[in-house]
Amino acid sequence: MMIDPQTLHARDFMKRDFISVSPHTPILTVHKLFIDKKIYGAPVIDDRDQVVGVISAIDLLRAIRRELEPGARTSTRSTYFWDEATDSIDHVDIPESDALWGLVVRDAMTKDVVTVAPDAPVAEVARTMIERRIHRVLVMTGWRLEGVITTFDLLFALANAVPQSATVKHSGYSR
Lowest mean pLDDT among 5-19, 36-50, 75-89, 115-129: 75-89
User: Domain range for residue 39?
Assistant: 5-166
pLDDT at 134: 94
Which is more confidently placed, 43 or 95? 43
pLDDT at 63: 86
**pLDDT band with cut points at 50, 70 and 90 for residue 157:** confident
Count structural domains, the chain: 1
**pLDDT band with cut points at 50, 70 and 90 for residue 62:** confident
Q: Which CATH number covers residue 99?
A: 3.10.580.10
Query: What are the strands, taking DSSP E only, across 22-173?
Result: 41-45, 51-56, 76-83, 88-95, 115-116, 136-141, 144-150
* 87, part of any domain: yes
Which is more confidently placed, 88 or 30? 30
* 173, part of any domain: no
Average pLDDT estimate for 87-102: 57
Give the Cα separation of 121 and 9 in Å (integer). 4
Which is more confidently placed, 84 or 8? 8
The alpha carbon dihedral of 151, 11, 122, 169 has a sign of: positive
CA atoms within 13 A on the CB side of 61: 8
* 174, part of any domain: no
Average pLDDT estimate for 81-95: 54
**pLDDT band with cut points at 50, 70 and 90 for residue 167:** very low
DSSP state of 16: S
* 57, part of any domain: yes
* 41, part of any domain: yes
* 171, part of any domain: no
Query: What are the strands, taking DSSP E only, across 9-57?
Result: 41-45, 51-56
The whole model's pTM is what?
0.74
Q: How many CB atoms lie within 10 A of CB 85?
A: 6
pLDDT at 142: 93
Tell me what percent of the residues of the chain surpass a pLDDT of 90: 58
Which is more confidently placed, 62 or 22? 22
